[in-house]
Structure 1
């Protein structure tokens, strides 16, 4: 399997996994903590968490299909940076926990950078 396919699969899998398990199948306590930081009621927080999970699943499928496009990788980088910044502002103590957003988001951003460099090389060769 090429590095491009590894990056594609890891990014897609991560979005799918984080959408399905800690948000839809079972709302993880840290997910609930982050969403509750916005001050919503319990019912609204549950709805937002599950809606975010659906959004992550949709993006995971979208990314798997369109991984060769600039827009898919830009959205991945912007989304992961935004999520990391949100945690840093709302619950900064989570940045030093095990399996934290720093150790998940930054590598996924790096995989998109690898994919973007591959896209540029392919575009350059086709000119």
Structure 2
């Protein structure tokens, strides 16, 4: 296997992982179950132009779409930059809304840091010249 194939396999693994994580986060706690934490978050924001269940569903659909984009646009750097910004933003949001989550195992800090790291590695791989 040549170096470019190795890089592409690593990128594919990263993209599949990020896609699965985003799709799961959008589908299970938001679209399927509309978890209590999701309801509390939208109540905290004070947004009132849509019902809370609708806001939860829309945010879940947005996350699912974002996850699918990782499968479609596998050479996109902008997706990884957006992922990094989103993960850092969500760390801050969760710290403000649910600070008690940060002392539990498998907390949002761990998940978001890992997803950020995957995008950083993907950006490094995408920046390797293709004419190796």
- What range describes the TM-score normalised by the shorter chain of this pair? 0.7 to 0.9
1:29 alignment counterpart: 36
Contact residue 11 and residue 74 of structure 2 kept, 8 A? no
Q: Deviations over 1:22-80 (max 9, x none)?
A: 00110122222222222356x72211111000000110111221132110111111111
What is the Cα-based RMSD across aligned positions, in Å? 2.0
Cα 1:67–1:96 shift into 2, 3 Å:
farther
Structure 2: runs of 5 or more not aligned? 1-5
1:100 alignment counterpart: 107
Equivalent residue runs for 1:40-119 within 5 Å:
40=47, 44-119=51-126
Contact residue 12 and residue 74 of structure 2 kept, 8 A? no
Contact residue 68 and residue 115 of structure 1 kept, 8 A? no
2:3 alignment counterpart: none
Contact residue 67 and residue 73 of structure 1 kept, 8 A? no
Structure-2-length-normalised TM-score: 0.83
Runs of 4+ more than 3 Å apart: none
Number of equivalent positions: 124
Structure-1-length-normalised TM-score: 0.86
Rg comparison, structure with higher value: 2
Match of 2:18 among 11, 17, 24: 11
